[in-house]
Amino acid sequence: MKKTIGIILFAVIAANAQNLKTKPNWHNLDYAKDGIRGMSTEKAYAELLKDKPSKTVIVGVIDSGIDINHEDLKNVIWVNTREIPGNGKDDDENGFIDDVNGWDFIGGADGTDVNQEQLEMTRIYKNLKQKFGDNPKKRLIKKNKSDYNLYKKLEIDIKDKREEAEKYLPMYTNMYKKFTEAEETLKAVLKKDVVLTADVEQIKDENFDRSVRQAKQFWLQLTAMGATLSDLKDGVQHFEDEVKFNYNLDFEPRKVVGDDLSKLQYGKYGNNEVTGPDAMHGTHVAGIIAAQRENGLGVKGVADNVKIMVIRCVPNGDERDKDVANAIRYAVDNGAQVINMSFGKAYSPDKKWVDEAVKYAESKDVVLVAASGNDNLDIDQEVHYPVREYLNGGQAQNWISVGALNHEEAPDLAATFSNYGKKGVDVFAPGVAIYSTVPGNKYEEKQGTSMASPAVAGVAALLRSYFPSLTAPQIKNIILDSSVKLPDATVKIPGGEEKVKFGDLSVTGGVVNTYNAVKMATQMTQKQQ
């Protein structure tokens, strides 16, 4: 699921003059030089990687879809050169017809796509409701006690979530309407297409009527809280989606795919339309990893010699285990050496399929990077799927779980929304106010562990590119071992005011650092020679 942060998924105004929350490339900047705790990527390129040879690395981005024609991404999109575009044949015999840039596992053969989806908890509850009915017999309950307990828990959870969405939807709708009206009023006064805080503050109240003064006051109040028109629009959309789709038992979007949900059917369903109806999330993720660094446009990706393989399986709702498993396998089969997974959910009924795919990726030496989730939960206690632990014991050694770092220092170092866990989260990386690509040749700030994960996937791809002899476990260990350790920094626990040690929030108590990782990789490969 493309998880929201708190109540809404934050995004700010599109390209050109903007009210950005911090420096636009902060996640790649250096703490000592730039005064902000980025990953020191620019320092690594300037001091350690200059004139050093690299090889192209394929990064599989399993997400909502990507705008493959974006000005800052179109030249870094993977192209399956073994496939003849549009001839309706599986030229490379990989099981997928015309998969030129990747594959859509939530699309139908006729080109239609799933956009909205239920949450996994809704799907599970619906099945259990059919199993138990309104008045289940005591013998049925006794025989299926754990299922019945889950059924009653989900019944309460879904009811509470729906009621919350129904409460917030009119509030956000009203705020969005008022903010839109205020912004239009201010545009007319300022005679500008983009409204900036500095300009609004210069409006002299005594020169304008009450409507302008009210518009100014309302606009400044909301922007001071960190809100934008885009924020509020996303908030409205979020709660509409929850009411109409996510918690709607009668919603059945999967029919357009036409597959059998009881079987994996690898290579037997989906289509080659990889952008999808809503590529916002995936496009932003792709830009963090690989937006062209030297083209003078927009933003700079972390890695400078990669190709993005587009794999669509994440709807506006919860992804299905079947699709995740097939997406991982597709990426591996088609040459991806790093896979980014900026999605997650609370339940995983077909985890066995995902485990098989993760083991397959592990056997093929592929690095898996996963967002830890945006529910400010201790995932050592409350699981956020997918996870590296296998159902039959053991865990993947090629897996990195990432928490989100704020651009502010302690006590606000950990993002308020980020999941955490002394065992479940490996490391933190920048994930607040990350400026990256969005559809239509535009750029926006967004935040989430969905943004922290591709930052780390970018570092993994960079290491694989410049140090091709390193294995996936070595890449993982370098990223963790080279992170800037801040174990004793006193921070607010995500989502609360309680103070804890930053070292208690992850395995390493560290922040990913590209410069340190490159330095360590250099030393390791020199010893191997």
Contact 430, 457 (CB under 8 A): no
Contact 343, 371 (CB under 8 A): yes
Q: Which segments of the chain belong to CATH 3.40.50.200?
A: 26-115+259-528
Distance (Å, whole) CA 164 – CA 242: 10
Higher-pLDDT residue of 224 and 379 is: 379
Contact 352, 392 (CB under 8 A): no
How many C-alpha atoms does 375 have within 13 Å on its Cβ side? Answer: 18
Angle between helices 145-190 and 120-132 (to 10 degrees): 140
* Average pLDDT estimate for 57-71: 98
Topology (CATH) of 26-115+259-528: Rossmann fold (3.40.50)
For the ranges 54-68, 97-111, 220-234, 285-299, the lowest mean pLDDT is seen at: 220-234
Distance (Å, whole) CA 361 – CA 363: 5
Return the pLDDT at 351.
98
For the ranges 216-230, 293-307, 456-470, the lowest mean pLDDT is seen at: 216-230
Check whether 4 has a pLDDT greater than 90. Answer: no
> What is the residue-averaged pLDDT of the chain?
94
3-state SS, 33-69, equals HHCCCCCCHHHHHHHCCCCCCCCCEEEEEEECCCCCC
Distance (Å, whole) CA 440 – CA 446: 16
Check whether 13 has a pLDDT greater than 90. Answer: no
* Average pLDDT estimate for 373-391: 97
Contact 1, 231 (CB under 8 A): no
Record the tokens describing residue 423, joined without a space: 């065992």
pLDDT digits (tens, 9 = 90+) for 111-164: 999 999 999 999 999 999 999 998 999 999 999 999 999 999 999 999 999 999
pLDDT digits (tens, 9 = 90+) for 169-181: 999 999 999 999 9
The pTM of this model reads 0.93
Return the pLDDT at 17.
39
Return the pLDDT at 529.
67
Distance (Å, whole) CA 527 – CA 390: 33
Return the pLDDT at 7.
38
pLDDT digits (tens, 9 = 90+) for 294-323: 999 999 999 999 999 999 999 999 999 999
Return the pLDDT at 312.
98
Question: Burial of 500 by CB count in 10 Å (0-12 exposed, 13-18 middle, 19+ buried)?
Answer: middle
pLDDT band at 5 (very low <50, low <70, confident <90, very high): very low
* Average pLDDT estimate for 194-220: 94
pLDDT digits (tens, 9 = 90+) for 250-277: 999 999 999 999 999 999 999 999 999 9
